[in-house]
Amino acid sequence: MKVIHTVSALNLALQPFRCEGVEIGFVPTMGALHEGHATLIRKSIEENGCTVVSLFVNPTQFNNSEDLRLYPRTPEEDRQLLQELGVEILFAPSVEEVYPEPDRRVFDFGLLDKVMEGRFRPGHFNGVAQVVSRLFSFVQPDRAYFGEKDFQQLAIVREMTRRLQIPVEIVGVPIVREPSGLAMSSRNQRLSLQEREQASQIYRMLDKSLGLTGEHLPRELAEWVVGEINNVPGLRVEYYEIVDGDSLRPIASWDESDRPVGCAAVYCGGVRLIDNISYR
């Protein structure tokens, strides 16, 4: 595996693959890798002749400086895992390499970046669009892989790719969960053993709600989920909304959407966790 820190070196490393017509897969990450990331990487390796993984904690998508400071960083463990998985190229640039000048682009994705995460984390998705578009321009992949845990982010990336006419296939990969049901996340590293047990109740309540769609309208069911999760000591719901899986518009009845999805953000102690579940 080649470990590369600059865009110029990345281009040199990818040139032989491009000359031979080898398809390039790309998995952008912020490090602190876990089995969820490994699932994305394995899928890329399966579907492409060369896989590039980036490790870059992007400062422009954090609207909370403390969250940026506390974000888990495990570079040596990450490098070892990528080596074991068989990744061809690890791209680990500095902030100065990715942003030699401040990125002042402002993206407007309509409703997609205004609801849920966009409402509670202003500027977050603008930072995501900035960094992902820049990474795409560096790597120029044929396919890029994103986890469906970040459901709204995946919708934003798809829309950004369409608007900027970037020739890359966006591949969404289902959520990977711990045995308890807790969605795998780098932030889980910040949870104590007690908090992990508390956090596992998030998915248990989402899963339980699947059997209640015949009894409740979407808004009523969302209120039920919020109440059940908030009853768990140590958990506090920031939002739970049931939306159309394509437009992210909240739905008032189940027949308004062919793909209703429930999306949650929940604080477990001081750690903010997100999850989602499909009602179809």
Is 34 a catalytic site residue? no
Which pTM does this prediction carry? Answer: 0.95
CB 44, CB 51: distance < 8 Å: yes
Average pLDDT of 73-77? 94
Q: Taking each helix axis from N to C terminus, what angle separates 7-19 and 124-139, rounded to the nearest 10 degrees?
A: 50
**Which residue shows structure tokens 């500027």?**
123
Per-residue pLDDT tens digits for 56-72: 999 999 988 888 898 99
Structure confidence at residue 119 (pLDDT)? 95
Q: How confident is the model at residue 102 (pLDDT cuts 50, 70, 90)?
A: very high
Q: What is the pLDDT, as a whole number, of residue 161?
A: 98
Predicted confidence (pLDDT) per residue in 139-193, tens digit: 999 999 999 999 999 999 999 999 999 999 999 999 999 999 999 999 999 999 9
CATH number of 2-173: 3.40.50.620
What's the order of all strands across the beta sheet hosting 235-244?
235-244, 260-268, 271-278
What are the start and end residues of each CATH 3.40.50.620 domain in the chain?
2-173
In this model, does residue 211 exceed pLDDT 90?
yes
Q: For residue 221, give the nearest of 241, 237, 239 by alpha carbon.
A: 241
Residue 87 has pLDDT above 90, yes or no: yes
Residues of the chain with CATH 3.30.1300.10: 186-275
What pLDDT, on the 0 to 100 scale, is given for residue 158? 97
CATH code at 186-275? 3.30.1300.10
pLDDT of residue 66: 87
Question: How many separate helices (H) and strands (E) can be counted in the chain?
Answer: 10, 9
